[in-house]
Amino acid sequence: MAIKSRKVTIVGSGLVGAACAYSMINQSVCDEIMMVDRTYDRAVAQALDLSHCMDFTSTRTKVYAGRLEDCRDVDVVVLTAGANPKPGQTRLDVLEEADQITRDLVSKVVAGGFNGVFVVAANPVDIVTHIVQEVSGFPRSRVIGTGTSIDSARLKTLLSEVFSIDPRSVNGYAMGEHGDSQFVAWSHVTIGGKPLLHILDQHKERFRDVNLDEIARKTKDAGWEIFTRKGNTQFGIGNALAYIVRSILNDEHRIIAVSAVLEGEYGQREVCTGVPAIIGDVGIEEVIELNLSEEELEKFNHSCNILRNAMNGLRTRNEGKSMA
């Protein structure tokens, strides 16, 4: 009996793409990984380097180089190729360059017959995810951005340090843009199942120095703290990608804060932003609508407006170019 291999293509063989592949190999996420890069030799080199991990892992993952047109029988395409902001820029500042790169990549992947799930990490990830959905014509379920998954992980890490507990005992989400307008939904953060706000209220003296605004700021700025010191982030986002891909391939139904195109959830449409969603073998199975406080909903709407305006501005500029 033939057993179908679980196949993943990683488009972009740089630091994030390589970290994603390395995480998937060590976690036995899939059976095959195809590395694709603008420079084919780099894809070949990364595939060779990664293949040399196999003697030290519990299972064997076949790793090889390929091209965008070779994705017909692939289950998941991970997009890490994009434009990196320079010092002083925000993720939104590289939008036009990212748009050009993404449109070219996605059109070639789809033309090759790909019919699986896109998982997007390229920044600005919310808008790039929206672009992928538009260019591919896929339903929103099959186009997932990493969104605030990494921000939520950073939040849990910060809280674990404050309360001296394992990060996995913290549950909560950063939401909205993976960028400057994101916010923490404090009303839904729990530690060991107990609401964080209740803990702080019951132990005012013990936790009198806990500043939620400062923790939210550190959550938002964590990526830049890394970027300004070494010029990139790779391990956290690489593992986040592996986590999302694993939930798809294993149909795990995990709830993860991802970039999703909203279709009426939270009263929003025509915008892609970070929200908790159930991730399974079809991609996004359901967007979870949290009962946000009035202040949180105001922050969410503000973030959505920023992303929507940026996307609409990009469309207007593209229309102007096509008419020129």
Sequence ranges of the binding site for substrate: 91, 123-126, 151-154, 233
CA angle 185, 190, 195 (to 5 degrees): 90
Binding residues: 12-17, 37, 42, 82-83, 91, 121-126, 146, 151-154, 233
Three-class DSSP category at 290? coil
Check 52, 130, 178, 302 and give the catalytic one: 178
Helical residues (DSSP H) of 65-172, grouped into ranges: 95-111, 125-136, 149-163
Residue 34 parent element (H or E): strand 32-36
Handedness of CA 291, 294, 296, 298 (dihedral sign): positive
DSSP of 88-117, one letter per residue? T--GGGGHHHHHHHHHHHHHHHHHTT--SE
Give the burial class of 64: count Cβ atoms within 10 A of its Cβ; 0-12 exposed, 13-18 middle, 19 or more buried: middle
Residues 6 or more apart whose CB falls under 8 angstroms from that of 93 comprise 85
Whole-number Cα distances in Å, 168 to 42, 149, 156, 182, 191: 36, 14, 7, 22, 9
- DSSP state letter for 2: -
Whole-number Cα distances in Å, 90 to 84, 174, 317: 10, 18, 19
Q: Does the active-site annotation cover 178? A: yes
Binding residues for NAD(+): 12-17, 37, 42, 82-83, 121-123, 146
Active site residue ranges: 178
